[in-house]
């Protein structure tokens, strides 16, 4: 079956530091890949996505590149802010539109940014 | 505003007392789903629905029921809640499209359930 593995943290960084959160996946075929963010007390929001190999998703200064050869979708940001403190989830979907096609999530990475 | 709403946001109940968590979306999405979020386990799918009157089990369906009588609503029912169902629950929806990439799910704000 499908699975997603990501570093769980917490990851603590100083403001303006460089961020990398690793995500690797196991899936058949060509899944779509997502990063969701959950701010304290809120639901999940889509941060970025990529639907095919070598695609780069980007949003709010965050980037992730779909690497099929390494089955990875690492999240990066060049300079984090305190407001980026949240839990980040890597997820995949088979993208067929049919069947269950639910999201398979990693366990989430708690990111803490200190001023 | 396009959104998924859930009610209640917080609920404390006792073992065995039936409860329903409502979920509603205003985006005309065919697909709706329920997840539970537990520390160290991430989010796991409970049930999903591809359209009205079409529901199916996800990864962790035991102890839950759902119904889909209307396109916009997808309530989660716990007939006899137990303490191991204490969790944070999320409802989500999306369009049912065949094209890859059109499968972004929109999430509700969550319902924190405690079963004593």
pLDDT digits (tens, 9 = 90+) for B73-109: 999 999 999 999 999 999 999 887 645 445 678 899 9
Spatial neighbors of B113 by CB under 8 A, at least 6 apart, are B11, B12, B13, B19, B21, B81, B85, B86, B87, B88, B89
Pick left, alpha or beta for residue A68 (phi over 0 → left; psi -120 to 50 → alpha; otherwise beta). Answer: alpha
Spatial neighbors of A83 by CB under 8 A, at least 6 apart, are A113
Identify which of A106-110, B20-24, B49-53 has the greatest average pLDDT: B20-24
Q: What is the mean pLDDT of residues B53-69?
A: 94
CB contact under 8 A, A100 and B105: no
Return the pLDDT at B101.
47
Selection from A111, A75, A113, A108 nearest residue A8 by Cα: A108
CA distances to A108, B8, B28, B68, B103 from A104, rounded to whole Å, are 12, 25, 23, 23, 13
Q: Which residues are A58's β-sheet partners?
A: A63
The rounded Cα A41 to chain-centroid distance in angstroms is 19
- Of B42, B48, B102, which has the smallest distance from its Cβ to A105's Cβ? B42
Return the pLDDT at B99.
53
Return the pLDDT at A100.
57
Return the pLDDT at B4.
95
- Of B4, B58, B104, which has the smallest distance from its Cβ to A46's Cβ? B104
Cβ(B40)–Cβ(B32) under 8 Å? no
CB contact under 8 A, B110 and A42: yes
Return the pLDDT at B39.
86
Burial class of residue B67 (count of CB atoms within 10 Å of its CB; 0-12, 13-18, 19+): middle
CB contact under 8 A, B48 and A97: no
Best mutation target, A5, A43, A55, to test chain B (most B CBs within 10 A): A43
- Of A44, A52, A93, which has the smallest distance from its Cβ to B107's Cβ? A44
The confidence band for B41, taking pLDDT boundaries of 50, 70 and 90, is confident
CB contact under 8 A, B100 and A51: yes
Tell me which chain B residues have a C-beta less than 8 angstroms from the C-beta of A8: 40
Dihedral in degrees, nearest 10, Cα atoms B50, B52, B57, B63: 150
CA distances to A42, A62, A76, A91, A95 from A47, rounded to whole Å, are 14, 8, 12, 11, 18
Return the pLDDT at B96.
72
Selection from A79, A51, A49 nearest residue A64 by Cα: A49
Higher pLDDT, B18 or A29: B18
Q: What is the mean pLDDT of residues B42-56?
A: 92
Tokens standing for A72? 């990875």
Which alpha helices (H) appear in chain A, and where do they start and end? none
A108 touching B, CB under 8 A?
Answer: yes
Nearest Cα of chain A lies from the Cα of B111 at a distance, in angstroms, of 9
Cβ atoms within 10 Å of A83's Cβ, excluding its own: 10
Tell me which chain A residues have a C-beta less than 8 angstroms from the C-beta of B102: 97
CB contact under 8 A, A45 and B110: no
- Mean pLDDT of successive 10-residue segments in chain A (115 residues)? 88 96 91 92 89 93 96 97 96 64 86 96
A51 touching B, CB under 8 A?
Answer: yes
């Amino acid at each position: 079956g499908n699975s997603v593995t990501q570093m769980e943290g917490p990851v603590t960084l100083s403001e303006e530091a460089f961020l990398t959160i690793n995500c690797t996946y196991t899936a058949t075929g060509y899944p779509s890949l997502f990063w969701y963010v959950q701010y304290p007390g809120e639901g999940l929001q889509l941060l970025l996505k990529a639907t095919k190999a070598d695609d780069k998703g980007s949003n709010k200064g965050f980037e992730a590149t779909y690497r099929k050869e390494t089955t990875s979708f690492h999240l990066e940001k060049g300079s984090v802010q305190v407001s980026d403190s949240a839990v980040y989830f890597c997820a995949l979907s088979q993208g067929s539109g049919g069947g269950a096609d639910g999201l398979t999530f990693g366990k989430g990475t708690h990111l803490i940014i200190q001023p | 505003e396009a959104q998924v709403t859930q009610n209640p946001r917080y609920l404390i109940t006792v073992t065995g007392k039936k409860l329903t968590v409502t979920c509603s979306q205003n985006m005309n999405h065919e697909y709706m789903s329920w997840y539970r979020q537990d520390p160290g386990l991430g989010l796991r799918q409970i049930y999903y629905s591809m359209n009205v009157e079409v529901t199916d089990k996800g990864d962790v369906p035991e102890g839950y029921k759902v119904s889909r009588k209307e396109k916009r609503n997808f309530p989660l029912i716990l007939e006899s809640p137990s303490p191991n169902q204490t969790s944070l629950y999320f409802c989500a929806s999306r369009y049912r499209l065949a094209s890859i990439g059109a499968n972004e799910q929109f999430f509700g704000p969550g319902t924190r359930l405690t079963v004593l």
